[in-house]
Amino acid sequence: MINTITTTFTTIHAIIFFSIIALTTLFTRVIPFLIFPEHKKTPKYIEYLGVILPFSIIGMLVIYCLKDVSFTTHPFGIPEIIGVLTTVLLHLWKNNTLLSIGGGTIFYMILVQFIFP
């Protein structure tokens, strides 16, 4: 038997909770400007990370999204392959990240909902 604990926030608890979240978010947004002020030159390794990390993160997301695809059972990864190809082709065609990711996702969802249920 699982023992569940029910917690109810009072108004004061909710204000404290969301204030901590807001301050933490603000702090993480301000830190780079404090560490690297505009009048100082940004270190080379930070510039390198700014160039290389976006590609690394996209690679990790692609691997994460495709990690559970089975190529040995129906539908053999076909919707995933078509979805990835759609995303790549849209990006090569329009060079618009939002359009390519959104379009590829919508097309993939249409495939898995209606064509490969």
Percent over 90 (pLDDT), the chain: 80
pLDDT value of residue 9 = 80
pLDDT digits (tens, 9 = 90+) for 30-75: 999 999 898 999 899 999 999 999 999 989 999 999 999 999 999 9
Rounded to whole angstroms, how far apart are CA atoms 97 and 92? 10
pTM for the full predicted model: 0.64
Inside any domain, residue 1 = no
Q: What crossing angle do the helices spanning 78-94 and 44-66 adopt, rounded to 10°?
A: 140
- Cα angle value 38/39/43 (rounded, 5°): 75
Inside any domain, residue 4 = no
How many independent structural domains does the chain possess?
A: 1
Inside any domain, residue 62 = yes
Inside any domain, residue 55 = yes
Structure tokens at 102: 């959104």
**The domain containing residue 89 runs over which residues?**
11-115
pLDDT band with cut points at 50, 70 and 90 for residue 1: low
Inside any domain, residue 2 = no
Quick check: 78 and 115 in contact, CB under 8 A?
no
Inside any domain, residue 21 = yes
Inside any domain, residue 6 = no
Inside any domain, residue 30 = yes
Residues in the chain: 117
